[in-house]
Structure 1
Amino acid sequence: MLALSIFSLVLVSIYACWTLIVRSSQVGQRATAKVQRQRVAVRTIEEALFCARSFAADLEHYSFVADNGDDAFLSFAANLPQSFPRSGKFGDFNVRRVTFELERAPDGGRQLVMRQYPVLMDIDQDEKDHPLVLARGVEKMKFEFWDARKAEWLDDWSQRNTNSLPPMIKVMLEFGDPDQRYNYSVPHDEVARIVRLPTITVPALWQSSNQPGGGGAGQQQMNTVKP
């Protein structure tokens, strides 16, 4: 009887240790997946900004639009590489309008999504209805723009400088846990990056009517606000 009791205690101890190991592994996997999603989301925004393009002679198609708030978004034209997400869908149309936006997720949380389409075309219904979800559980997205003349960060760039790209952009994302969004004791992760844009808005005087971005006449009108 004593031997059976000791054996039972050993089995319980082994099971408890095994359960602890499994739970620790699950927590570690979730943490790793969360960090990976954050890295991919931030990296995608950075890569798109590195490829930003703007032409003063055709701001109808090459405008830079941003807005902070609950439904924050960032929209601009970019000459994207083939390695950029969903490039295969657009074939040789490398110059596309890219829009990053916070919107409500099907489960009630918030998610960061990306939509894109060629600059001389309208967004298709599939891209509008099924954007690429970069990250779930994104509680906040905010942008700040460097004003070289005032040597300060601005919260609103589009109303003051609609004819130029900012030299630098500070991107801030606040991530929560999608599975713990009602648990306010769970801390949020904040990620911030400063991206220096490698280009400027090309002045109209530098362009001729047959260059990219020049001569907007005859081109299909495109909605440059968020889709």
Structure 2
Amino acid sequence: MSRAALARARGMTLIEVMVAMAIITMMMVSVWSSFSATIRAMDATETIQDRHANIRNTVDRMAAEISGAYLSFNRPRAETRHFTLFEGRTNADGSNLSFSSFSHLRIRRDSNESDQTVIQYFLADDPEDSSRSHLYRRETKRLTGDLPEDLRRYAPAYVLCEDVESLELRYWDDQNQEWLDEWRTTANDAQPDRLPQRVEIKLGIEDPITNEVRYFVTQTTLPMQEKIDLEK
């Protein structure tokens, strides 16, 4: 038997085994790298989709609740407080809105609550991290007749949407055919007896990939334009 035939009969040499193992290892690393990149891309896509779904749900909920805003004539003649209101204001933190609505859900039959409520939206910093700001929502159990800045005494606020960079609300004045940055039914020199015909909602959200602020915009109409008189 020749030396070549004898070497083949003995099997692979140590160098050949090491080369084969190195090739297999490189192939496994390449496959694992591709698989890991795919998993990370899928996770990132799912996170972005969940984030966008949350934002869309937030905007849709705001639009639905604002469309249920109303004003009422029903209060004692000597009463100076406004139990029904639509107060859209603008300050250094952005827009905030407080409005009366029929949308409060009574969970218990004998609870001291009403289906009439005041809902409030505003932007504020995270109490534990001032670098983050969130969109908050507050809802009272009944009409209190208090100014928007005093509603915190009656109901806590919870986060409606996290990490919101800006909240901009505009109100369409059908009489003057213009968009307004504020709408105040509690001020005699503003709009004391009427609601805006439309409200534009604009949320600014930072894109997690580009770190640029993207805007989500929608409009809603307010069908209950006439003040309600429950005594008729």
Question: Shorter-chain TM-score: what band?
Answer: 0.7 to 0.9
Which residue of 2 is the match for residue 99 of structure 1?
Answer: 120
Structure 1 residues 124 and 113: CA distance shift in structure 2, 3 A: closer
Deviation at 1:101?
0.9
Question: Residue 143 of structure 1 aligns with which residue?
Answer: 169
CA shift for structure 1 position 81: 6.4
Distance 2:168 2:108 in 1: 29
Counterpart secondary structure, 2:191: coil
Aligned to 2:198: 168
Q: Which structure is larger by alpha-carbon Rg, 1 or 2?
A: 2
1:71–1:155 CA distance, 2 compared to 1 (3 A): closer
Q: Which residue of 1 aligns with 2:21?
A: 4
Check the 8 A contact 2:199/2:221 in 1, yes or no: yes
Q: Is 1:14 paired with 2:31? A: yes
Task: Output the amino acid matched with 2:167.
Answer: M
Q: CA separation of 1:89/1:44 partners in 2, compared to 1, >3 Å: closer, same or farther?
A: farther
Instruction: Name the structure 1 match of 2:86.
Output: 64
CA contact (8 A) 2:69 2:101 kept: yes
1:192 is aligned, of 213, 217, 222, to 217
SS at structure 2 position matched to 1:68:
strand
Please state how far the C-alpha of 1:201 moved relative to its aligned partner: 3.9
- The structural deviation recorded for 1:126 is 8.2
Larger RCO of the pair (alpha carbons < 8 Å, separation 6+): 1
What is the CA distance between 1:124 and its match in structure 2? 7.5
State the match for 1:127 in structure 2: 155
Aligned residues: 196
- Aligned identity (percent) is 19
The residue correspondences of 1:183-222 to structure 2 (distance < 5 A) are: 186-202=211-227, 206=229, 208=231
Question: How far apart are the structure 2 equivalents of 1:152 and 1:37?
Answer: 31
Paired residue secondary structure (1:26) = helix
Q: CA shift at 1:19, angstroms?
A: 1.1
> How far apart, CA to CA, are the structure 2 residues paired with 1:135 and 1:11?
43
| 8 Å contact from structure 1 (residues 65, 75) kept in 2 | yes
In structure 2, relative to structure 1, the CA distance for the partners of 1:23 and 1:103 (3 Å cut) is: same
- Counterpart for residue 219 of structure 1: none
SS of residue paired to 2:225:
coil
Distance in 2 of aligned mates of 1:88 and 1:36 = 28
Alignment of structure 1 residues 107-122 onto 2, 5 Å: 107-108=129-130, 109-121=132-144
What residue number does 2:6 align with?
A: none
Alignment-derived partner of residue 49 in structure 2 = 32
For residues 176 and 201 of structure 1, what CA distance do their matches in structure 2 show? Answer: 39
Q: Residue 197 of structure 1: CA displacement? A: 0.4
Tell me: CA distance 1:89–1:15, structure 2 relative to 1, closer, same or farther (3 Å).
Answer: farther
Q: In structure 2, how many angstroms separate the alpha carbons of the residues matched to 1:75 and 1:186?
A: 31
Residue 7 of structure 1: SS of its match in structure 2? helix
TM-score (norm 1): 0.76
Matched residues in 2 for 1:9 and 1:89: separation? 66
SS in structure 2 at match of 1:172: strand
Q: Which blocks of at least 5 consecutive residues in structure 1 are unaligned?
A: 212-227
Provide, for residues 9-31 of structure 1, a one-character-per-residue CA deviation record: whole Å limited to 9, x for no partner. 01111110121012111101110
How far off its partner does 1:166 sit?
Answer: 0.7
Q: Give the whole-Å Cα distance in 2 for the aligned partners of 1:124 and 1:188.
A: 30
Partner of 1:220: none
Q: C-alpha separation between the residues in 2 aligned to 1:192 and 1:148?
A: 20
2:64 and 2:220 in contact (8 A); partners too: no
CA distance in 1, matches of 2:55, 2:142: 28
Q: Which runs of 5+ in 2 are unaligned?
A: 1-17, 76-80
Amino acid in the other structure paired with 2:122: E
